[in-house]
Amino acid sequence: MALLRVNADGGQVRLHGCPDRPIAPALRQALAGLPPAAPIVVLVHGYRFTPWKPAHDPHTHIFAAGAPRPCWKARSWPAHLGFSECDPADGLCIAFGWDAKAPIDALGLSAVHDRTPLVAGALARLLTLIADMAPGRCVDLLAHSLGARVTLLAMAALRRPVIGRTILMAAAEYRSGARAALANPALAAAEVVNVTSRENDLFDFLFQAAIVPPRPGDVPLGQGLTGRPARWIDLPIDCPATLAALAREGMAIAPRRRRACHWSFYLRPGIFDLYRALIRDRGAWPAARLRALIAGPACRLPAEATDLPVFVPLPTARAS
């Protein structure tokens, strides 16, 4: 099995479409057939998806093995990472669904945000199961938007080293959440690639307007992580110098085409070539090589050069 579909349900992990079947036997079977060097990847979606509403089901959208249902924001993450439906030689891709949909979208972000600790607990249980069943294997994660918060919370809760490399796309989380995860001794060998773009500044601003920062002065991870360790990499895909450097290394990623977009992190032509290499060819793409290609925070262009809104952190009143 190359693609295993699961969902978080009440803090537990259940098989998609077969919630009454225990997950452990299916997971054990999927792991048993993997070649030694094959990757294990967990995908975590963001806001407005839910496995329990067909029109918003991530398993028929970004988690579809083949062609997703018609939607301009639909692109198969498993297929673009090199996973098929059933071939274990591809590795194991685990599509992790959760209820990120609110009855009223305009007012729902806060309610969905409040669910993330319970969902993160389910993800941490899944990662621990993998660590128990496949000792010594690393798990990589690819997460978008509020799924990045779920991922970082789960990483902070782990008690065993199982994480290899995590890719966060347009992370809807604050810097303090990243620091809490990085402080976990179980993540001492884990690497995080935080993919950013000023296309997402508007969404970062709206996120901070809806979700009170947990600490004064805290800002979303779209602005990068200050004081980051070497195993944390901020990758600005709106930076022309960085894109040019990646292109010279064979990773041609299209420049931004929208003033504001929360989905270009996986829709941008060429971007999945990089994600696939970071996961499948980690030896050829160590953190040091990737970091050397990044022009740095100074390449974040002023608003007049990009026609994008300037991110201004909102004042915070909550005590730490």
Per-residue pLDDT, averaged over 68-80, amounts to 93
- What pLDDT, in 10s, does the model give residues 201-251? 999 999 999 999 999 999 999 999 999 899 999 999 999 999 999 999 999
Task: Classify residue 19: in a domain, yes or no.
Answer: yes
List all residues 6 or more positions away from 197 whose beta carbon is below 8 Å from its beta carbon: 170, 222, 236, 237, 238, 256, 264, 265
Q: Evaluate if residue 317 carries a pLDDT over 50.
A: no
Task: Classify residue 188: in a domain, yes or no.
Answer: yes
Q: Evaluate if residue 140 carries a pLDDT over 80.
A: yes
Count of structural domains within the chain: 1
Task: Classify residue 314: in a domain, yes or no.
Answer: no
Task: Classify residue 195: in a domain, yes or no.
Answer: yes
Least trusted range by pLDDT, from 1-5, 91-95, 266-270, 315-319: 315-319
Given strand 232-236, what is the order of strands in its sheet? 12-15, 3-9, 92-97, 40-44, 139-144, 163-169, 191-196, 232-236
Helix-helix angle 146-157:175-182, to 10 degrees: 30
Band of pLDDT at residue 45, cut at 50, 70 and 90: very high
Burial class (CB in 10 A: 0-12, 13-18, 19+), 69: exposed
Q: Evaluate if residue 263 carries a pLDDT over 90.
A: yes
**Given this model, what pLDDT does residue 306 score?**
42
User: What's the DSSP call for residue 313?
Assistant: P
Least trusted range by pLDDT, from 61-75, 95-109, 118-132, 170-184: 95-109
**Given this model, what pLDDT does residue 85 score?**
86
Band of pLDDT at residue 297, cut at 50, 70 and 90: low
Task: Classify residue 231: in a domain, yes or no.
Answer: yes
Percent of the chain scored above 70 by pLDDT? 91
Of 182, 188, 180, nearest to 162 (Cα)? Answer: 188
The CATH code of the domain that includes 214 is: 3.40.50.1820
User: Is pLDDT larger for residue 256 or for residue 140?
Assistant: 140
Band of pLDDT at residue 288, cut at 50, 70 and 90: very high
Band of pLDDT at residue 302, cut at 50, 70 and 90: very low
Q: Which residue has the tokens 């902070």?
A: 156
Band of pLDDT at residue 309, cut at 50, 70 and 90: very low
Task: Classify residue 316: in a domain, yes or no.
Answer: no
Task: Classify residue 152: in a domain, yes or no.
Answer: yes
- What pLDDT, in 10s, does the model give residues 76-134? 999 999 998 888 899 999 999 999 998 766 568 999 999 999 999 999 999 999 999 99
Task: Classify residue 202: in a domain, yes or no.
Answer: yes
Average pLDDT over the chain reads 91
**Given this model, what pLDDT does residue 299 score?**
57
Measured distance between the N- and C-terminal CA atoms of the chain, rounded to whole angstroms: 45
**Given this model, what pLDDT does residue 33 score?**
85
Domain that holds residue 94: 3-306
* pTM tops 0.85, yes or no: yes
Least trusted range by pLDDT, from 6-20, 90-104, 125-139, 294-308: 294-308
Per-residue pLDDT, averaged over 159-165, amounts to 97
Q: Evaluate if residue 310 carries a pLDDT over 50.
A: no
Q: Evaluate if residue 320 carries a pLDDT over 80.
A: no
